[in-house]
Amino acid sequence: MNARFTPSRQEDLSLITGKGHFTADHNYPGMLHAYVIRSMHAHAHIKHLNLEAVRAYPGVRWVVSADDLKALGAGTIVNPITAKGKGGEEQALALMPILAEGTVRFVGQPIAMVFADSALCAQDAAELAEIDYEVLETSVDPEQTTLPTAVQLHGNAPRNVSVHFASGDAEPVNAAFAKASFTSQLRVLSQRLMGVPMEPRAVVAIHDAASGITTVHTPHQGILGMRNFLALASGAKPESLRIDANDVGGSFGLRGGPYSEHAALVLAARHLGCAVSWVGSRSEIFLSDWHGRALILNGEIALDNEGHILAIRFKDRVDAGAYNCMMSTFIGTRNLSITMGGVYQIPALYMESEVVYTNTTPVSAYRGAGRPDIAYAIERLVDFAAHEHGFDPVALRRKNFIAESAFPYKTANGSTIDTCLSEKLLDRALALSHYATFEERRAQSLSQGKFRGIGLSTFLEASGAGTAPKDQAWGEFNVNGYLYVYGVTGPSGQGHSTSFASIIEKALGWPADRVRYEAGNANQKLLGNGTGGSRSLYGAGSAILAMCHQMLETIQPHAAKTLGVDLAQVRFENGVWLANGSTTTTAHIIDALTNEDKTTLHALGEATSGSTYPNGCHIAEVEIDPATGETHLIHYYAVDDLGQVISPQLVRGQVHGGVVQGWGQAFCEQVVYDSQGQLLTGSFMDYAMPRAGCVPHLTNETYEVRTQLNLLGSKGVGESGCTGSLPALANAVMSALRPYGINQMDMPFTAPKIWAALQKAKA
Amino acid sequence: MSHISLNINGNAHTLEVEDRALLADVLRNNLKLTGTHVGCDTSQCGCCTVLMDGDAVKSCTVLAVQANGAQITTIEGLAKGANLHPIQVAFSNCHALQCGFCTPGMIMATAGLLANNPKPTDAQIHEGLAGNLCRCTGYINIVESVKQAAKVMQEKQA
Amino acid sequence: MYAFHYQKAQSVEQASAALTRSDASRLLSGGMTLIPSLKHRLIQVDELIDITGLPGWRDIRVEGHQLWIGAGATHQSVSRHSEVRQFSRGLVELAGMIGDPQVRARGTLGGSVANNDPAADYPAAVLGLNATIKTQKREIAADDFFLGMFATALASDEVIEGLRFNKPLKSAYAKFRHAATGYAMAGVFVAQISKDQWRVAVTGATNCVCRWHEAEVAAGTVPKDLRFVHDSVLDDIHAPSAYRAHLVNMLYAQAVSRLA
């Protein structure tokens, strides 16, 4: 090791030296390789499927279609959340089969799988499949899919509607609009995106006949969640599945549950008695990873003559894609409603949303899962209304922030926000961004022929409530000098192990580099949540903190002994043990123990941590070159209240990542289908991604307001970057273009789109 | 099938490979050097970047047979024994990695950049990393780490 | 990709003979276009003939008023070559703008020119400088070489040995990068060939690199009403044709302002 090199995160050393263990790195002797045969049509009946030539190809060991897997117990792709309709109706559900059963409903839908000696052999053999399709009409546009002329995708869902949901109270909202001095209406599109974690989806499964356990290597977002959902999808018993805690190359919401390949590979590993591997190519992942966003949010705002917001109402259209998979219902119902008032004190709120089917890849959670989208819609609406009716956009916001004295604040549609000090964050962000002198900079840019704009967002979001009854953590000292901590929550790249070690160092006075955190150890029967909804730090972290408190109690007698005092005389304060003016450290105490005594020191910590409300104020300053329509982001400012910050460097990194993903949605990313449901953006050749330098300057600060909602006092940061950046960037672009008669534009704000809008406005 | 000789991280290897085998796959599967990652199939993500005769190249777009006789450095070969390369140290210090999947390719692209341009400006760093995608970090810390590595490497030269 | 037989050609004759032998044989240079096509199974090849080992293949040398660049010269080597910098500012800068660093380390002039991708950068320099493409059989003038989308005047057994460029008085290249691919959404190469002779080549905006005669007539000026007009300006999900045509106008002006 280099003299004095301590990695910033525990996770770093293996990753920077190429010693990581990602799924595709696993290579078992005799391992077979799978290839998926996918639909080329967006909507078709499969009249005839002939796989004989595939089976006969040299090197092919097994070929399966729907019936083969169902005979082995396969279920469907999981849809964990349902919602009741506006009038209490049950949701119409269309579950996706593991392999297509007679009808395909999106290009890329899995039809069959080939298992062979090598991946190339499986792919070569797959080309011999004969599929006789009866091509059907497609319905691709989420707004047109509910028209009487649109083809019906599922027999049980008239108008292609899965559920028509409502939240809030329509009557007071309608009354408010009736008496309002000012109203504004704005429809915004949060366009369909791809999540694009850099590690392509992959599964390696190996079955041990003696124990009856199938080990699965795959990128995931939570071992217990993946295991339980995979059990449902494959028909295997949950206790017969072991999800390996390997390195995960990003997740962003897409890896909470199994895909077809997971279920098929579990069954294949058992049937074939050997290890099996499937590694997706990026092109097939574009077709088959769940897509993200795909929301049309139609908002209206009612103001009194002084600019107080009287009511907000939304009519939303949620594109679920071809089937109900994983989180689309949750996004389109809970997540579009719980924070629909944003940071504002609004007496009346009402929303309706329709979750609809189209012949496209199913949509699920992508970083923020509806909350960045609704924050975007609200902040654009407030900004739009301000400009439409002559209010200063900052003053209008200030006037309507939830007053500090009003917390905990119960919103008009039932969410309780513990605290959100928008005014303080706004003031800090305005100062940081030199907002007050913006017009001077605008004039200077104009003298060079460029259009400068500044945009802000004051936002909050609700982090994940978790689905497990509680989070648990188990800690035990090991004879090799480490404190081993076991939990359920494992990372997909965020560096949780490092944060958890920091919590422990502070709470126990035990060095962070002598902590080893392990998620999903099979010998530990712990409860807990996966990573999702930005809750890992406060969820698992609170359980770990609770474990530390318990552990202090078990250490205390030894501390007393070390200091030569009675138990009652010793206490733990500021990281050390104190008694009568003497001090000692936890490390000193533990290191002096016999091995036998060391192993008696263990503790269980538990915590129940529900949603929290991370919030912030982000400001973006941009400069548009009217000659090309390109937008240059000059500087981005983020002031975030994330509650107690454990690892400032990791928090900054999360905000960077979230903001740049927001930049991607704002300026270049978009999934495009043609009218036949063919994916036109099927690779990085057509799906433009943010690259180095797109956000050259980002200043971020945190403003810590501890929450009482969990033991740790932290609020979660994973999705704040996206939530704040969509509205800040969009409002900045509008600020630059508004002087030229452009009041609204949908993302992505590509150069050609901005240029065309400016041309049109000139004419 | 072809018979090829490669020098990988200072070690000579002779291999029998299919003519269609990609250098990335030979590194990963034949030589078990799984630090080089495959992230896409249109040669745009850069996760597979290695040094080939001193240049950063995308190993997913090089046939193993094309690399016959070449000197290849992969992420596994960057450190000198237990001594990490300044680029590796800088990436960790600057928190320029989160999930780590793009990291080997990003580090090797940086090595290629700094070999040719030891004191790059921000714009030159952006250009130098134009062939590499990262979804986690937003690139901001990556750019910082390249600057830090450049500084350390310049000091070492002096 | 489908299986094929790879061989490294020892001579141009050997490479040409392999091309003659089979319809399903292809030359491999840098591989930056061919290998991705093979990976996607867009093409099937029986024989892949690697021509990067031929003697002198990567040579770059000035010969009087001409610059010879071997077909195997990488974009990187061209962009870093001091003599190329002296010879044509437009050419040296263009080479440094192709793709990304990893692509530039492998991609070659010959490969780019033979492929004639409508969004590639090199064809604009080749046409803009009126280069000569030398094959084992003949020399082809740039004006006669680029025939259409991915189509050139090369016969099926012809192998490009290199290109000979004529030294311009001044030149420049301006490009607008496609947000996803890094290719030219539009690229304009302007060259003053002699006192009264100008050439302007446009790539990326239409289905094949082409000369812009009205701009050539403008002789290094930017008339206010100069507009790029062409009957097949590309229109797709990334940009409408009006935008691409506008880019051409703008890039012409940019290139003119940077002539050196």
State the DSSP string of B108-139: HHHHHHHHH-SS--HHHHHHHTTT---SSSTT
Instruction: With CB atoms and an 8 Å threshold, state whether C240 touches A752.
Output: yes
Check A653 against B95: CB less than 8 A apart: yes
Q: Which residues of A touch B34 (CB under 8 A)?
A: 18, 20, 22, 24-25
- B71 and B108 part of one domain: no
Subunit partners of chain C (3 or more CB pairs within 8 A): A, B
Q: Cα–Cα distance between A469 and B121 in angstroms, integer?
A: 52
SS3 A426: helix
Domain span at residue B64 reads: 2-75
Question: What are the residue boundaries of the structural domains of chain A, listed by start?
Answer: 29-136+213-273, 291-463+611-762, 471-607
Into how many domains does chain B fold? 2
Spatial CB neighbours of B156, under 8 Å, sequence gap ≥ 6 = B86
Q: Is residue C212 part of a domain?
A: yes
Contact indicator for A44, A103 with CB cutoff of 8 Å = yes
Smallest CA-to-CA distance from A426 within A437, A439, A411, A436 is with A436
- In chain C, the N- to C-terminal Cα span, in Å, equals 45
Report the chain A residue with the minimal C-alpha distance to residue C176: A628
Q: Which region holds residue A535: left if phi is over 0, alpha if psi is between -120 and 50, else beta?
A: alpha
Fold of A471-607: Aldehyde Oxidoreductase; domain 4 (3.30.365)
**pLDDT score, position A526:** 85
Using DSSP's 3-state secondary structure scheme, residue A603 falls into: strand
Please identify which residue in the block is written with the tokens 């969820």.
A539
Asked if A660 and B98 come within 8 Å (Cβ–Cβ), the reply is: no
Separation in Å, CA of A283 to nearest CA in chain B:
7
Give the gap in angstroms from C-alpha B8 to the nearest C-alpha of chain C.
Answer: 19
Collect all residues of chain C within an 8 Å Cβ-Cβ radius of residue A689.
Answer: 180
How far, in Å, CA of C168 to CA of C195, rounded?
10
Q: Is residue B63 within 8 angstroms of chain C, CB to CB?
A: yes
Residues B51 and B104 in one domain: no
Q: A76, A448, A51: which is closest to A260 by C-alpha? A: A76
C225 belongs to a structural domain:
yes
**Quick one: which of C5, C144, C129 has its CA closest to C67?**
C129
Whether residues C35 and B19 touch (CB distance < 8 A) is answered with: no
Q: What is the pLDDT of residues A268-316, one digit of tens each?
A: 999 999 999 999 999 999 999 999 999 999 999 999 999 999 999 999 9
Q: Is residue C41 part of a domain?
A: yes
The answer to whether A29-136+213-273 and A471-607 have equal CATH topology is no
Q: Which residues of chain A have pLDDT under 50?
A: none
Q: Which domain holds residue C238?
A: 170-257
CATH code, domain carrying B125: 1.10.150.120
Spatial neighbors of C213 by CB under 8 A, at least 6 apart, are none
The rounded distance, in Å, linking the Cα atoms of A549 and A551 is 5
Residues 74-103 of B with CB under 8 A from C: none
CA–CA dist A519, A225 (Å, integer) = 12
**Contact yes or no for C5 and B19 at CB 8 A:** yes
Report yes or no: A339 and A371 within 8 Å, Cβ to Cβ.
Answer: yes
C249 domain-assigned: yes
- Where b means 16+ CB within 10 Å and e means fewer, B50-85 reads bbbeebbbbbbbbbbbbbbebebbbbbbbbeeeebb
Name the residue among C179, C181, C250 with its Cβ closest to that of A750.
C179
Q: How many CA atoms lie within 13 A of C68 on its CB side?
A: 13
Tokens standing for residue A415: 């969410």
Inter-chain touch B100–A698, beta carbons under 8 Å: no
Kindly state whether residue C96 falls inside one of the protein's structural domains.
Answer: no
CA nearest B91 in A: which residue?
A16
The answer as to CATH 3.40.50.300 being correct for domain A29-136+213-273 is: no
- Residue C9, classed as helix, strand or coil, is coil
Helix (H) or strand (E) holding C172: strand C170-177
- All residues of chain B having their beta carbon less than 8 Å from the beta carbon of residue A682 are none
Q: Is B78 on the interface with A (CB under 8 A)?
A: yes
Which CATH number belongs to the domain containing residue C40 in this structure?
3.30.43.10
Q: Which residues of B touch A24 (CB under 8 A)?
A: 28, 34, 37-38
Query: What's the Cα-to-Cα distance from A196 to each of A19, A67, A292, A682, A690, rounded to whole Å?
Result: 23, 32, 10, 12, 11
Q: In the structure encoding, which two tokens stand for residue A409, read together?
A: 């604040």
Tell me how far CA of residue B6 lies from CA of A360, B14, C31, C132, in angstroms: 45, 6, 19, 37
Q: Are A17 and B35 contacting, i.e. CB atoms less than 8 angstroms apart? A: yes
- What pLDDT does residue B87 have? 98
Neighbours of A, requiring at least 3 CB pairs below 8 Å, are B, C
Confidence at residue A3, expressed as pLDDT on a 0 to 100 scale: 60
Positive or negative, the CA dihedral A244, A247, A253, A255 is: negative
Q: Is B130 close to C100, i.e. CB distance below 8 A?
A: yes
Place of tokens 């939303």: A316
- Of all residues in chain B, the one with the smallest CA distance to A696 is B140
ipTM metric: 0.98
Q: Which amino acid is at A67?
A: D
Angle between helices A648-667 and A720-737 (to 10 degrees): 40
Which residue of A lies nearest to B146 if distances are taken between CA atoms? A692
Please state at what angle helix A720-737 crosses helix A751-762, rounded to 10 degrees: 30
Contact A115, A276 (CB under 8 A): yes
Residues 108-147 of C with CB under 8 A from B: none
Average pLDDT value for residue range C161-184: 97
Q: Tell me whether C100 touches chain B (CB under 8 Å).
A: yes
CA distances from A597 to A601, A602, C213 (A): 7, 11, 90
Query: CATH code at B48?
Result: 3.10.20.30
**Inter-chain touch B41–A25, beta carbons under 8 Å:** no
C123 upstream amide cis, omega within 30 of 0: no
CATH 3.30.365.10 correct for A291-463+611-762: yes
* pLDDT value at residue C65: 93
Of the candidates A377, A334, A339, the residue with the CA atom closest to the CA atom of residue A355: A334
Residue in chain A closest to C244 (alpha carbons) equals A752
**Residue C181 forms part of a structural domain:** yes
Q: Which residues contact A160 (CB under 8 A, 6 or more apart)?
A: A139, A145, A146, A150, A152, A153, A154, A356, A357, A358
Size of interface A-B (CB pairs under 8 A): 195
Report d(CA A370, CA A364) in Å as an integer. 10
Other C-beta atoms closer than 10 Å to the C-beta of A245 total 17
Question: What is the distance in angstroms between the CA of the first residue and the CA of the last residue of chain B?
Answer: 48
Q: What is the pLDDT of residues B115-149, one digit of tens each?
A: 999 999 999 999 999 999 999 999 999 999 999 99
Using the Cβ of B47 and the Cβ atoms of chain C, whether some distance falls under 8 Å is answered with no
**pLDDT above 70 covers what percent of chain B?**
100
> How distant is the Cα of A24 from the closest Cα of chain B, in angstroms?
9
Residue B81 lies in a domain: no
Into how many domains does chain C fold? Answer: 2
Sequence-distant (≥ 6) Cβ neighbours of residue A532 within 8 angstroms: A221, A222, A225, A253, A256, A365, A464
- C20 belongs to a structural domain: yes
Considering the entire predicted model, what is its pTM?
Answer: 0.96
Out of C180, C243, C246, the one facing A685 most closely (by C-beta) is C180
pLDDT in tens, C49-86: 999 999 899 999 999 999 999 999 999 999 999 999 99
Report the distance separating Cα C104 and Cα A127, nearest Å.
34
Chain B nearest CA to A494, separation (Å): 6
